[in-house]
Amino acid sequence: MVVNQSLKGRDFISLHDFSVEEIALILETGLQLKKEQKAGIPHPILAGKTLGMIFQKSSTRTRVAFEVGMYQLGGHALFLSPRDIQLGRGETIQDTALVLERMLDGIMIRTFSHDEVLELAHWASIPIINGLTDLLHPTQVIGDMMTIIENKGSLKGIKLAFVGDGNNVAHSLLNGGAKTGMDVVIACPKGYEPDAGVLSQAQQDAKATGARLWVVENPIEAVSGADVVYTDVWASMGQEAEAAEKEQKFLQYQVNRELMSHAHKDAIVLHCLPAKRGKEITDEVMDGPQSVVFPEAENRLHAHKAIMALVM
């Protein structure tokens, strides 16, 4: 596969940073790399290159997808936990960036503070990939949109209902919808809405594609006529102290058979995982015929490969 060079050297921090055409390129590349991998066609696009992976937050899918992805692209991935590097002992992000850029070809960082990713990108001359922050989760949403294309044929005109906390995944779904013409509605209790700045920015972006982006309180209203129903844990990593309180406030936001009855009959169900089964989603739905949760998880591998192949 010959990879388009137009994104080479770019950081991948927010979907907002990319044009409509560039997001389409990333999705097309991911789907093509998946097709080749399934056909047993090798694609050592990043042979001889090394990705450093900084994990301030624990991970299953992100770590495995980036590590296996680099292997399949012919490169090498280096796992860097706070216990293993000086960043965890007080070395500045600036110094860390200026050292790592001389040894690596790219850095993936998964952390709490979005500002840390921005600062790392400011100082490092190599591509920085945002593997998750408390504000955004863009790599996840590339995989999500690939999954929707595989099941629905396209993104434009599709209605996606996200039911739950207006969190980092919700933010990146708003950005993704804006760039692809996919309608995105977020259903959440009062006080748990998406960041107003992110929503406003996404709505501005949506003018180019005609996507509709809005927030409601009633989950049935959101899910009515939806082609895709998406949920996530109610308390994200680092919010464990709020879990009990959130469970009470989010009881009506469980994705169960009754809620799904308001969506299109052929609606698909997405969840970024890990799931709290019996909380935000029932086993009946997650393991049911409408669920594409595990193919969605697999697509993280192909999405991450596309991002790395294009920017590194």
- Residues with catalytic annotation? 110, 137, 140, 232, 272, 300
| Residue 68 CA to its chain's centroid (Å) | 17
Name the residue among 231, 234, 233 with its Cα closest to residue 246.
234
3-state secondary structure of 172: helix
Taking residue 302's Cβ as centre, other Cβ atoms within 10 Å add up to 26
Structure tokens at 247: 């469970």
Q: How far is CA 232 from CA 22, 165, 169, 182, in A?
A: 27, 8, 8, 19
Q: Please list the residues that pair with 185 across neighbouring strands.
A: 161, 214
- DSSP character at residue 309: H
Are residues 73 and 305 in contact, defined by beta-carbon separation less than 8 angstroms? yes
* Order of all β-strands in the sheet with 76-80: 76-80, 50-55, 106-110, 128-132
Q: Tell me the one-letter amino acid at 226.
A: A
Phi, psi of 179 (to 5 degrees): -85, -10
